[in-house]
Amino acid sequence: MLIRKTTQIPDIVWNFARPLELGMARHLKFRPGWSVTMPGLRLIDVSKPEWLEHIQKTNFQNYVKGSRFHSVMADVFGDGIFVTDGAQWKRSRHVLAPLFTVKNFKAGLKKTGLYIAVAQGEP
């Protein structure tokens, strides 16, 4: 359940521990493409497949993570695809791309048991 306060503090601060719930509530209220800007942080909803493809594949060079993001997240993710830009990101993507095939995705689902439930029409 989302927390709603009647102060000037944005919902995103009150609900920082519930990002998925907050994202869904904002998606339902503002429709796809909502954004929130705070000092030092901007979040943008990218919930349409064509937007995601545009950002992560066809026009990636225009969406840099930057040195600040890298310095904060490199301790968690190293220097791989999640925190790098430019040529280093391209090398990481080239190495990892074969892992993200439909065949491998289905194999992963089968291991979790979700594939069987989805195939049988179960929720």
Give the end of a domain, one of 63, 88, 105.
63
**Of the candidate ranges 17-21, 88-92, 117-121, the one whose mean pLDDT is the lowest:** 117-121
The verdict on 32 and 83 lying in the same domain is: no
Domain total in the chain: 2
Distance between CA atoms of 21 and 18, rounded to whole angstroms?
A: 6
Give the end of a domain, one of 13, 36, 63.
63
For residue 50, the model assigns a pLDDT of 92
Distance between CA atoms of 48 and 56, rounded to whole angstroms?
A: 12
Range of the domain at 25: 1-63
The verdict on 59 and 84 lying in the same domain is: no
Neighbours of 106 (CB within 10 A): 13
The whole model's pTM is what?
A: 0.52
The verdict on 58 and 83 lying in the same domain is: no
Distance between CA atoms of 6 and 1, rounded to whole angstroms?
A: 16
Query: For 42-75, what is each residue's pLDDT tens digit?
Result: 778 888 889 988 987 888 888 888 888 888 888 9
